[in-house]
Structure 1
Amino acid sequence: MPYITSNHDGARLFYRDYVPASSPAAFAPQSPPDPDDRKKPVLVLTSAWPFSSKMWDHVLVPLVETYRFRCIAPDRRGYGKSEWSGPDTSKAERIDYDTFASDLVQILDTALGVSSSSSGSPGFIGVGSSLGCGELLMALSASTEARNSCKGLIFVATSLPIPLRTAEKPNGPPREFWDNILSSLRRDKLGWLRTGLPFIFGPDKLSDTEMKRYEHMAEESDPIAIERTVQAFLERDLSDLMKSLHDPEKPLSILILQGDKDSVNPIDEGPELVRRCLPDTEIVVYKDGYHGERDPKLGQSGPKLLTQMRTQVSCKPTERGASKISSDSAKVAPVDAL
């Protein structure tokens, strides 16, 4: 799998690039290989804190092999196989949200050639989780070419516009909540992961084996990265940036999948703020879903949702409080369609 050398500081950054199989045949494909597969948008999956791209493994396999999408999944710097900082130590003191976005733009350009994309390019759809949602928006803001190549966004448990209590988000977590997490990580990183991750995913949502996999993924993160990343996303409210991305002549289609028990980003104070800034946003609410929603149905129903995004179907507003969008109320497959 490929690496890039970051233009920011020379850090080596890893990303996974999966192409649908032609030989040997893929297991349980939805359809045989087709030249039109190349016309599908590439899916670019960005990860939640404090995980690497491996958080998407349960989705990547069916998306690539069953539904035949090319998928790119970067490891954010400091996570997975990516370095936190590079040999240019003069840049090490300033690694922030803008750096993450710049790294992502560079990966998009390297893997997809967005800076030289022709009108016939299939472009890409960004699929982000939590922090990864803001990272995608900042990349689109930083690069006109990336914005022009983007065919839509899907946000799973977004933390936008900021995972913090503010005047517009009075029920968000206070700063003390994050300070306690950072203090706990300094004292006993593994101990916090064992007690804190169930809060993110929800009690009894994951098997012990799955939970240990996520613990290991987070444990492998760079110790400086896991702390500074929190500081980075807490200092940026992306409301104004989202408003700046709204263009009636080129609407940005966004689909948000959010749990109704997400205390980090409550529906009315997170996704609804996104929709007010970017009106072409559709919200699907998962009943009993938490911030770390890891429903296997995402891997099953995702392709139908992605197809709708690809064709830029105009959807009716989601019925507030619904656990899913029915096929009668919008031209989007319900989340349990398969």
Structure 2
Amino acid sequence: MSEKRQRSNVEIARPGFIASGDGVELFYRDWRPEAARSNGRIIVFVPSYSLPGDMWAYQMLPLTRQGFRCVAYDRRGHGRSSDPGGGYDYDTLADDLAAVIEALDLSDVTLVGYSMGGAEAVRYLTRHGSARVARLALIASTLPMLARTSDNPDGVDPAYADAFQKDLMTDYPQWLAGNARPFAGPGASEAMIEWIREMALRTSHHALFACNETVNRGDFRNELRDIDVPTLIVQGDRDVSNPLELTSERTARLIPNARLVVYEGAPHGVFLSDAARLTTDIGAFASAS
């Protein structure tokens, strides 16, 4: 898999934006350390469902200060990227990630994906290969498969997805108001929770609905066996969105060279609830030889 390379026709469209293969403009941020501080390591962050790359600020800033070059981008339909009204399947989303990596000509990357972003990172590796990626970190990911089916009987009841999609159609702000605190954990300030809600409310409704359908259909049980880079898996044991035993524990058993780290008492939003610890763990992992 490491030699596989599928190049898209990508370019820097204008300052701060990369044009994907199908013409979607992806907003990105590229934070570089001072030359004297640089350790030459690159970390690429893939954001959560419903959130832009800004969500990684409390990891990117300290890591940049430690000498890492940190790159994050907004998924199509999220943040400042284009809202094309389509292309929310995992293959296209993985191609968008490839566009970012190729346009910036990044290599020896530590690829960090959170929640849905973890699945996009895996699809990038199985679709484009690991020639540019040295390590993979999966944070509270939706992998390997969330939906309940006949061959995945412990999966999430489809009624839960149906109820969420109804909320998207009727009163998404109210759904966010009721779920932001469990997501962020009891230690998060009201101001921090409001910041998360504001970012989520700026996401295209079409993207929210289509990406939710993509997550619900996702099945990476066979794909994970093909990952050929060292993998760090992090999740809280109080994650009600992606239960630990359904997701990260199974993922760790499927990826050949994976290490699972469980944060006791942490919710789904570990990038907020355990920001300093997660930053330390990502930095140490990205520094490994």
TM-score (norm 2): 0.87
Structure 2 equivalent of residue 222 of structure 1: 204
Q: How far apart are the structure 2 equivalents of 1:226 and 1:38?
A: 37
Are the counterparts in 2 of residues 152 and 254 from structure 1 also a CA contact under 8 Å? yes
How much does 1:44 deviate? 0.4
Are the counterparts in 1 of residues 19 and 99 from structure 2 also a CA contact under 8 Å? no
Q: How far apart are the structure 2 equivalents of 1:304 and 1:174?
A: 33
Q: Helix, strand or coil for the counterpart of 1:200?
A: helix
Q: How far apart are the structure 2 equivalents of 1:243 and 1:5?
A: 31
Distance 1:256 1:290, change over 3 A: same
1:136 correspondence with 2:121: yes
Distance 1:295 1:266, change over 3 A: same
Structure 2: segments with no counterpart, 5+ residues: 1-14
Ranked by relative contact order (alpha carbons within 8 Å, sequence separation 6 or more), the top structure is 2
How much does 1:264 deviate? 2.9
Query: Which of 270, 283, 290 is matched with 2:247 structurally?
Result: 270
Who wins on radius of gyration, i.e. which is larger?
A: 1
Structure 1 equivalent of residue 96 of structure 2: 103
Matched letter for residue 284 of structure 1: V
Distance 1:81 1:282, change over 3 A: same
Query: Which of 214, 218, 239 is matched with 1:236 structurally?
Result: 218
Structure 1 equivalent of residue 257 of structure 2: 280
Matched letter for residue 254 of structure 1: T
Write the mapping of 1:1-338 to structure 2, written as runs, cut at 5 A: 2-8=16-22, 10-22=23-35, 33-34=36-37, 37-40=38-41, 42-65=42-65, 67-85=66-84, 93-113=86-106, 123-144=108-129, 147-166=130-149, 170-202=153-185, 204-245=186-227, 251-295=228-272, 297-299=274-276, 302-303=279-280, 305-312=282-289
Matched letter for residue 77 of structure 1: R
Matched letter for residue 11 of structure 1: V
Distance 1:265 1:191, change over 3 A: closer
How much does 1:136 deviate? 0.6
Q: How far apart are the structure 2 equivalents of 1:39 and 1:13?
A: 24
Q: How far apart are the structure 2 equivalents of 1:189 and 1:276?
A: 35
How much does 1:235 deviate? 1.3
How much does 1:169 deviate? 5.3
Identity of aligned residues (%): 26
Matched letter for residue 15 of structure 1: Y
Q: Helix, strand or coil for the counterpart of 2:72?
A: strand
Matched letter for residue 57 of structure 2: D
Q: How far apart are the structure 1 equivalents of 2:142 and 2:121?
A: 12
Q: How far apart are the structure 1 equivalents of 2:250 and 2:151?
A: 8
Q: How far apart are the structure 2 equivalents of 1:94 and 1:68?
A: 35
Q: Spell out, residue by residue over 1:125-167, the C-alpha distance to the aligned partner (whole angstroms, 9 max, x if none).
A: 01111011111111111112xx122111122211111233345
Matched letter for residue 233 of structure 1: V
Distance 1:310 1:149, change over 3 A: farther
Q: How far apart are the structure 2 equivalents of 1:83 and 1:227?
A: 16
Structure 1: segments with no counterpart, 5+ residues: 23-32, 86-91, 115-122, 246-250, 313-338
Distance 1:299 1:110, change over 3 A: farther
Are the counterparts in 1 of residues 270 and 278 from structure 2 also a CA contact under 8 Å? no
Q: Helix, strand or coil for the counterpart of 2:261?
A: strand
Q: How far apart are the structure 2 equivalents of 1:167 and 1:173?
A: 12
